[in-house]
Amino acid sequence: MYGLPRALSPPLNSPAAAAPWLRAALALALAAAVLMALVAAGWHPLLRVDGTVAVRLHSWALHHPGWTETNRVLSDWVWDPLTMRLVLLAAALWLWLRGERLLALWCVATAAVGTGLQQGLKTALDRERPHWQHPVDSAHYSAMPSGHAMTAMITYFLAVWLVRRSGAPARAWVPVLALGCVTVVGVCLTRIALGVHWLTDTVAGSLLGAALAAAAVGVWNAWLPAGPRNGPGEGRGPDAPEEQEWRDGQDNDRRT
């Protein structure tokens, strides 16, 4: 809807604004459900892929201690779920200081629901983690879905959406998007490389995280207060350049 006159844009709090997000959330959730059902049913082609990937990466980890230690630092500190939650908490604090307190609480609530959902699914599926004669790392709870992957996806999905809805130009939100992609892929790789997750654990966690975040955005657009929404495609006229809106928003923040 970028560049269309305001009259042609759907109302922000409307089924039209929420529908694409909710459809995406449903598709992602169904994909995750199918994947988890296939694993639970013991579908051999999928489990064979899991085993092949796990064995190859574990063998590499045993013979390359520097690589393994780097993965451990990234997994336990840089991309740890606690670190991801702190990133989202910082975003919530930014929203709170901007006066968007309900949205700040909504983001925190989304993260809390994600934590509860992953733990509930881990208990329900009760999938064993990979077992190794010479492990290079350890982890608690059941394997599926990966909590690291799910938390990282929720965090950066919401972060990109928040930056875009603030009216930021591409030079501001594209780096956030790139960092999010690197983080999610990196989290998945490090968890498998350390021998504590199967490939499908991390894919399921990523899909579920994206589904939950998309659902949260859809519900916000449909039923909750709009607040200052000046992001791309959200009702701007054709004569309002992206960079000017960004500068105006920053000026307003400094004045308040």
| 65-94: pLDDT as tens digits | 999 999 999 999 999 999 999 999 999 999
| 143-169: pLDDT as tens digits | 999 999 999 999 999 999 999 988 888
- Name the H helices within the chain: 15-40, 44-63, 65-73, 81-97, 101-125, 147-165, 170-193, 199-223, 242-255
Q: How confident is the model at residue 249 (pLDDT cuts 50, 70, 90)?
A: low
**Number of Cβ atoms within 10 Å of the Cβ of 199:** 20
% of the chain at pLDDT higher than 70: 81
**Number of Cβ atoms within 10 Å of the Cβ of 38:** 15
pLDDT of residue 6: 40
pLDDT of residue 19: 87
Residues 183 and 177: their CA atoms lie apart, in Å, by 10
pLDDT of residue 165: 87
pLDDT of residue 235: 36
Residues 95 and 100: their CA atoms lie apart, in Å, by 5
